[in-house]
Structure 1
């Protein structure tokens, strides 16, 4: 079910997602057809990865995304996560079950684990910038909840938000060193902001030693 975002800032409509990179195998599909680099999913089509394979995608409005292993997303007014992990950078709204995320341009992840404890639907983590979260069935009456960089929140299957919590520095580093970032050749929009964000969030930590990327004047060919 694709969800509307009537009370949140409007952004350019996402109606196409193009495969940019494929890592750790070739098990990427658009609907039932195996996909290769430069193939595109259109509005309401599903992209999925299987096994160890990961993939990066670009959206027609300039935003970018990355699918983790065994992930499935549907292209629409929001990018709906059906399972697995999705990283989005730029102006693309994400959603899962009964919550939706609206952005103007930020870096965040949405995760939906089909084997998560009963009652749990998904987890939102904001790495850079902030997002507006809407929960519940009736989005027109919902009051947006702001989730800032360095924060995470879980959502139940009935669309109720959990406790807004800080992302520990070790977990932040694990994300930016993990499969959503590792070995990709192309950088994400605003990726060079992550080191500064990390240092402001965790001033007692050496973010470079944690593996968070440092801004560079040279084209980034990979984070680590």
Structure 2
């Protein structure tokens, strides 16, 4: 059977949906003759909608109606942290890859570990996200995420992070993750949203539900991944982070800094992001978003 002779009830599901949309629109047209009878013009239009899925009509009206009828698509999973490049090392040279002193532009690959003593560093993951690792910290690169074993890291961009008991799934956000010596964790979402999934033996715990942490919130987890508290970040918390070791002295920009600056301007009055030493600029000489002087 050809497409021209195919009956409406034989159409594939997408074509049938287009046909239904076209017929509904035709029925709603404010033409008295069309409302009272099935004249030749209406019958011809309906036959065309039936035969061709009403694609030309739908495109003429815009794709919004069809797109709006589709179910929401799940956010893509962030890229795994299988490799990272050292971009900056501050406060000496005590940044290591598998206990060997690292250098700028050196690449680490899973399952290697990156650690610091009295130095700080900036890493760029293979998906373009950036991590700033504080002093006395250690993380291990992995297939699903990086695992922070101790210390503190600021993540800017769509990079998932893990502790031994939880996974942080993100999409283009800025967050700070901290793990103490006992394995207790603290997650501060500066901008964006993070979904925290409890883990059991490295896999999502089927008995526990994920927790969504929104911008401006801080989540505290026990070493076993149990939620202890979910608090609101105050302006003083933002000031402490922005003027602390995860921002102070770094020269290279963060990929999601513009989004962070926009959120802070709108939601945290009186707080401002410190400028980058040397006046960092984007390629092409444009000023870095978020570091343009405030005019109000």
* TM-score calculated relative to the size of structure 2: 0.65
What does residue range 56-205 of structure 1 map to in structure 2 within 5 Å?
56-76=122-142, 77-114=144-181, 121-137=184-200, 139=204, 141=206, 142-202=208-268, 205=269
Deviations 1:161-193 (A, max 9, x none): 122110111011110111101111111011122
Counterpart secondary structure, 2:156: strand
More helix by percentage: 2
Q: State the Cα distance separating 1:9 from its structure 2 match.
A: 4.5
Deviations 1:188-212 (A, max 9, x none): 011122232123333xx3223xx45
Which blocks of at least 5 consecutive residues in structure 2 are unaligned?
Answer: 1-73
Which blocks of at least 5 consecutive residues in structure 1 are unaligned?
Answer: 1-6
CA–CA separation in structure 2 for the residues paired with 1:163 and 1:8: 27
Q: How many residues are matched? A: 208
CA–CA separation in structure 1 for the residues paired with 2:186 and 2:78: 23
Higher relative contact order (CA 8 A, sep 6+): 1
CA–CA separation in structure 1 for the residues paired with 2:270 and 2:148: 33
Q: Is the 8 A contact 2:265 2:271 kept in 1?
A: yes
CA–CA separation in structure 2 for the residues paired with 1:49 and 1:212: 24
CA–CA separation in structure 1 for the residues paired with 2:80 and 2:164: 20
CA–CA separation in structure 1 for the residues paired with 2:151 and 2:257: 22
Deviations 1:18-71 (A, max 9, x none): 1000001100100021000011110111000102x1000001111110100111
Q: Is the 8 A contact 2:164 2:199 kept in 1?
A: no
Considering only aligned residues, what root-mean-square deviation do their CA atoms show, in Å?
2.6
Counterpart secondary structure, 2:220: strand
Q: Is the alpha carbon distance of 1:212 and 1:143 closer, same or farther for their aligned partners in structure 2, counting shifts above 3 Å?
A: farther
Q: Is the 8 A contact 2:139 2:150 kept in 1?
A: yes
CA–CA separation in structure 2 for the residues paired with 1:167 and 1:95: 21
* TM-score calculated relative to the size of structure 1: 0.84
Counterpart secondary structure, 1:183: coil
Q: Is the 8 A contact 1:56 1:66 kept in 2?
A: yes
Matched, 1:39 2:102: no
CA–CA separation in structure 2 for the residues paired with 1:154 and 1:95: 14
Q: State the Cα distance separating 1:129 from its structure 2 match.
A: 0.4
